[in-house]
Amino acid sequence: MKTSLCSLDDLPALPGVALEILEQIRDTDKPLARLAEILATDPPISAKVLNVVNSPFFGLARKITNLPHAVNLLGEESLKYIALSFSLVNAFKDTGNFFDYTGFWQKSFACAVLCRLIARDTGRTDAEDLYFLGLIHDIGILAMVRSHPKQYAMVEKKISQEGIFRHIAENETFGYNHMEAGAYLIETWGLPEIFTAPLVHHHRPANISPDREADLARTRILHLADEICNILHAPDKTVHLAVAKQLMDEYDLSRKIRLEALAEEMEYQIKPLLPLFDIDRHSDTAYAKILEDSKKEMYRLSFDMLSKIRQQQEAIENLSTLASRDGLTRLNNYKSFKDALDREMAGALRYGYTSVLALADLDTFKAVNDTYGHVAGDHVLQEISRFFMENIRDSDFVARYGGEEFAFILTKTTLEDGYKTLDRIREQLSRFGIEYQGHCISVTMSVGVTSVQGGKDAEAADLMRQADSAMYRAKNAGRNRIFVF
């Protein structure tokens, strides 16, 4: 059964304290202000935040008795996400259905603490951001469960009976997965964009361009922390341990962190932390013992066997990805684009925001194939696709529409801002020389733009005709232009 991201409509509202903190976070021109005053309006949360301040999570030498003192000592950056954590846990409580909320939050807090510890041990300055990233990295699951419990029960059944990855089962059932739902949710809340790429790609950091160093580094830490959590919480612990060790080597972290030390420190911090959030541990078994038992089992298996298991898992995931990706460029394909446009139109109609739809056609591309050959043409398409991905937001969408045509959806964007963005991309592309066997190949594009207007019902075919008409006006006006319908 297919549905849209915009049908995530049974979500709990965040309390006023959380909304005020989010408003402060969104104001990037100044640091977070008035945190102690904001928290003072909600005494229960204030008391809980102070309890966390005095827990092993911060490891202070003496007890702090009031929030202003805590803010002055630890800084607002250290406490804003702790306060938001209480709001999230309170908002997404057990509703009595099939889903294990306690297990979900137990794993999420484990991942949050691990991300923070890895950041600390590797000398990073964004440990608190990574804590909150670890906490919310699977929040899309809760959004899907709350909005569509019966359909998500089908996902759980697929996972149990067929042994497939969660996000694959979600794609088959909903047409989207919890990473995409999570990105939609944090964008709706207005959280900073630094969370989007790691949340969307934490199962596959390789999908992020190496040029985006900050996003890639955060995503790798989240990926590793998630795998370590799987050692502690998933049934096939041995495979996840092998994967975690391989990731530590791959991400050049083996010399900086030790799994055993991470497990022990995480155990020390999380044991008193969970009760503060009214979360019960499912088991009293120590994480360090789980890790030790998994290591013993891993040594009984050959490395080749573990590698084959991981290769089989990746092969299954790749088959799922192929269904939604263009084989040459690895961009989203035509089918994915149509699904994305339907979702965007539903969201604009329901919530009243405006988005931008554009079609772009590479000018005189046939000349590239005729002059340099089709292999060169394929190389140019791949490089241009990479260029497009690097020049749009993670929340936006680009697809290979067919041949040398591409489609863009700039979500929650005014027509004026969308025009500026696409015109900048068009202008940069005209100066983007692509090297191929000693030749520098330059390509331009003509772009047609229309808007998905908030609150207005429309047909996808009509919007596509509008964008197509504007694109051909740009072609007929001399190419390398952008026209609005």
Tokens at 223, concatenated: 């990926």
Residue 32, pLDDT > 60, answer no
First to last CA, the chain: 34
Among the four given CATH numbers 1.25.40.20, 3.90.400.10, 3.30.70.270, 3.40.50.300, the one describing domain 334-484: 3.30.70.270
What does the pLDDT look like over 46-97, one tens digit per residue? 899 999 999 999 989 899 998 888 888 888 778 889 999 998 898 888 777 7
CB 349 within 8 A of CB 455: yes
Query: What confidence category does residue 313 fall into, taking pLDDT thresholds of 50, 70 and 90?
Result: low
Please tell me the predicted confidence (pLDDT) of residue 310. Answer: 58
Which among 46, 133, 54 has a CA at the least distance from the CA of 86? 46
Q: Are 219 and 202 in contact (CB under 8 A)?
A: yes
Residue of 289, 309, 291 lying closest to 243 (CA atoms): 309
Whole-Å CA distances, 330 to 181, 353, 399, 484: 21, 29, 9, 28
Selection from 39, 92, 86, 93 nearest residue 66 by Cα: 39
Instruction: Give every CB contact of residue 99 below 8 A, 6+ residues apart in sequence.
Output: 145, 149, 152, 156
Full-model pTM: 0.68
Q: Which residue has the higher pLDDT, 331 or 16?
A: 331
Rounded Cα distance between 104 and 62, Å, is 32
pLDDT per residue over 371-403, tens digit each?
A: 998 888 999 999 999 999 889 888 889 999 888
How many Cα atoms occupy the beta-carbon half-sphere of 442 within 13 Å?
8
Which amino acid type is present at position 405?
Answer: E
What confidence score (pLDDT) does residue 465 get? 92
- Residue spans of the domains in the chain: they are 5-316, 334-484
List Cβ neighbours of 247 (8 Å cut-off, separation of 6 or more): 220, 223, 224, 227, 253
Grade residue 317 by pLDDT with cuts at 50, 70 and 90. low
Provide the CATH topology of domain 5-316. Answer: Hypothetical protein af1432 (1.10.3210)
pLDDT band (50, 70, 90) for residue 307 = low
The number of residues in the chain equals 485
Q: What percent of the chain has pLDDT over 90?
A: 34
For the chain, give the mean pLDDT.
84
Q: pLDDT value at position 174?
A: 80
C-alpha–C-alpha distance, residues 226 and 244, integer Å:
9
Whole-number percent of the chain with pLDDT over 70? 87
pLDDT beyond 70 at 154:
yes
CA distances from 136 to 130, 178, 183, 221, 441 (A): 10, 11, 10, 14, 43
Neighbouring CB atoms inside 10 A of 347's CB total: 23
Calculate the alpha carbon distances from 437 to 328, 363, 366, 371, 375 in Å.
Answer: 19, 22, 19, 13, 11
Per-residue HEC secondary structure of the chain comes to CCCCHHHCCCCCCCCHHHHHHHHHHHCCCCCCCCHHHHHHCCHHHHHHHHHHHCCCCCCCCCCCCCHHHHHHHHCHHHHHHHHHHHHHHHHCCCCCCCCCHHHHHHHHHHHHHHHHHHHHHCCCCCHHHHHHHHHHCCHHHHHHHHHCHHHHHHHHHHHHHHCCCHHHHHHHHHCCCHHHHHHHHHHHHCCCHHHHHHHHHCCCHHHCCCCCHHHHHHHHHHHHHHHHHHHHHCCCHHHHHHHHHHHHHHCCCCCCCCHHHHHHHHHHHHHHHHHHCCCCCCCCCCHHHHHHHHHHHHHHCCHHHHHHHHHHHHHHHHHHHHCCECCCCCCECHHHHHHHHHHHHHHHHHHCCCEEEEEEEECCHHHHHHHHCHHHHHHHHHHHHHHHHHCCCCCCEEEEEECCEEEEEECCCCHHHHHHHHHHHHHHHHCCCEEECCEEECCCEEEEEEEECCCCCCCHHHHHHHHHHHHHHHHHCCCCCEEEC
Given a cut of 50, is residue 2 above it in pLDDT?
A: no
pLDDT tens per residue across span 333-378:
888 888 889 888 888 887 788 999 999 999 989 899 889 988 889 9
Q: What is the mean pLDDT of residues 268-292?
A: 79
184 pLDDT tier (thresholds 50, 70, 90): confident
Tell me the torsion sign for CA atoms 290, 293, 295, 298: negative
Checking if the pLDDT of 3 tops 50, the result is: no
- Could you tell me the two tokens for 233? 């919480």
How many CA atoms lie less than 13 Å away from 353 in the CB half-sphere? 14
